[in-house]
Structure 1
Amino acid sequence: METETAIATLGALAQGTRLDVFRLLVRHEPDGMAAGEIARSLTVPQNTMSAHLAILARAGVVRSERRGRLIVYRADLDGLRALTLFLVRDCCAGAPELCAPLLAELSPCC
């Protein structure tokens, strides 16, 4: 991941509603959720939710797929993994024991 991409991804997640959307979608993996369902869950108008989902998709942390008449959104865990690896790539300046607690926290989940 390039620095500019990481900045765009972090910027997309640095807004309360978008962060809530992403965390909601992570909880609903692997099934995902329809846009209307996401909007209702977070009590956000559907047109506003569409804008938030578009920003998250451009940032590479949400993806969509058409299922019949619905568009279902899912967290892009590969995008999250790439961002996380970018953030910890040079972890602890050659002292991996300092990063061990962080890596242990990440390991059970993913």
Structure 2
Amino acid sequence: MDKKTAVAQLGAIAQEARLDIFRLLVQAGTPGLAAGAISETLNIPNSTLSFHLKELSHAGLIAARQESRFIYYSADYAAMNGLLAYLTENCCAGDTACCPDSYCSPPQKG
């Protein structure tokens, strides 16, 4: 991941409603949620929700798919994991005790 992508993704989730939306979609798993369900769960008006979903989508953190007349949104787990890996790359001078095992790996030997 490059710095420009990381900044765009961090900027997209650096807003309360978008962070709530992204976390909800992460919890929903790969099937995702319909826009109406997101709106209802988080009590966000549809017009406002559309704006936030567009921002998250442009940052590459979520994906949308149409099924019948509904649009379902889901978290892009590869993008999320890429951002986490970028943030924890070379963390703590290679001492993995400072971050979760799933995000840090010991330095490569050889």
**TM-score, L = length of structure 1:** 0.87
Separation in 1, partners of 2:42, 2:32: 15
Moved >6 Å (runs of 4+): none
Q: Equivalent residue for 2:8?
A: 8
Flag structure 2 segments of 5+ consecutive residues without an equivalent.
Answer: 105-110
CA contact (8 A) 2:84 2:103 kept: no
Aligned to 2:63: 63
Unaligned runs of 5+ in 1: none
Instruction: Work out the CA distance in 2 between the residues paired with 1:64 and 1:23.
Output: 16
Question: Hey, what's the Cα distance between the residues in 1 that align with 2:30 and 2:9?
Answer: 21
Q: CA deviation at 1:68?
A: 1.1
How far residue 71 of structure 1 moved from its aligned partner, in angstroms, is 0.6
Aligned to 2:24: 24
Cα deviation, residue 92, structure 1:
2.0
Give the paired residue count.
104
For residue 88 of structure 1, what is the amino acid of its counterpart? T
More helix by share: 1
1:77 corresponds to: 77
